[in-house]
Amino acid sequence: MSNDQTSLLRPVASNPATTPELTPALQTSVKKKRHEVVNLLKAAIAEFGNLSEITFANSMGAEDMVLTDIIQREALPIEIFSLDTGRLPTETYDLIAATEQAYQTKLKLFFPQAEPVQQYVRTHGINAFYESIDLRKTCCFMRKVEPLQRALKGKKAWITGMRAEQSTTRVDLPLRQFDAGNQLEKLNPLTDWTEQEVWAYIRMFEVPYNKLHDQFYPSIGCAPCTRAVAIGEDVRAGRWWWEDPLNKECGLHVKK
């Protein structure tokens, strides 16, 4: 197993995927899909109630910034929360601050509980997630899954920015599904968006985004478990790259 994060880094080059040509056809497609997302979110609000019932998990990825922009511009009564695992890249913290500034709002941040993290690090080491899948999953559970469970407690529905084409584990992702693990509805309004449409939206509406995307990081999680990918590689190839691609989810979006 290699945990080398540097082999594919391109700190100077700019990723062409983040600057698609804004052709009239692409802009029309984005506006149409934006309209559909707004309708879907409004229908969800009508069905599930208000701020205390429906919540949006913002991972600060490109897709989630699109949804954040739509929710804020449309002034939709949907709570936005993020998980601060304690191991995020500096660029993600910069984006959290930029987002709060751009939309004049505060994201609701959830943190891991200190005691299990302390015990894990004292027992296994600060970077033990590289040593085995079990240790990686334990780390993801205490830094992501458990805080997510707290964030979703008492909610009727949650919204994600997941897309079907993001990975082999998401190809059949529906617009809506029941999340049996967390016992609530899960909405994936961007499931049929392409990467090109996501970036076209970000450019058209001047949405804040994580600058690591320009350095070939299509999917960004914790700093030690994320690296750049090569052109043409699966967009999730830079996450837990030392593991089997069919099984590398962090536990936030497991199929039941």
| Binding interface with ligand SF4 (CB under 6 A) | 85, 87, 129, 136, 139-140, 143-144, 221-222, 224-225, 250
CB-closest chain residue to ligand SF4: 222
**Residue 100: strand pairing partners:** none
Shortest separation between residue 252's beta carbon and ligand SF4, angstroms:
10
In the complex with ligand SF4, the residue whose CB is nearer, 33 or 136, is 136
Shortest separation between residue 141's beta carbon and ligand SF4, angstroms:
8
d(C-alpha 74, C-alpha 206), whole Å: 15
Look at residues 201, 159, 200 and name the one whose alpha carbon lies nearest to residue 179. Answer: 159
In the complex with ligand SF4, the residue whose CB is nearer, 143 or 163, is 143
In the complex with ligand SF4, the residue whose CB is nearer, 143 or 227, is 143
Shortest separation between residue 136's beta carbon and ligand SF4, angstroms:
5
In the complex with ligand SF4, the residue whose CB is nearer, 16 or 86, is 86
Look at residues 254, 220, 216 and name the one whose alpha carbon lies nearest to residue 233. Answer: 216
d(C-alpha 133, C-alpha 137), whole Å: 6
d(C-alpha 52, C-alpha 81), whole Å: 12
Amino acid at 212: L
Active site residues: 250
Shortest separation between residue 254's beta carbon and ligand SF4, angstroms:
14
- Walk across the sheet containing 157-159 and list its strands: 108-110, 79-83, 54-57, 157-159, 184-187, 176-179
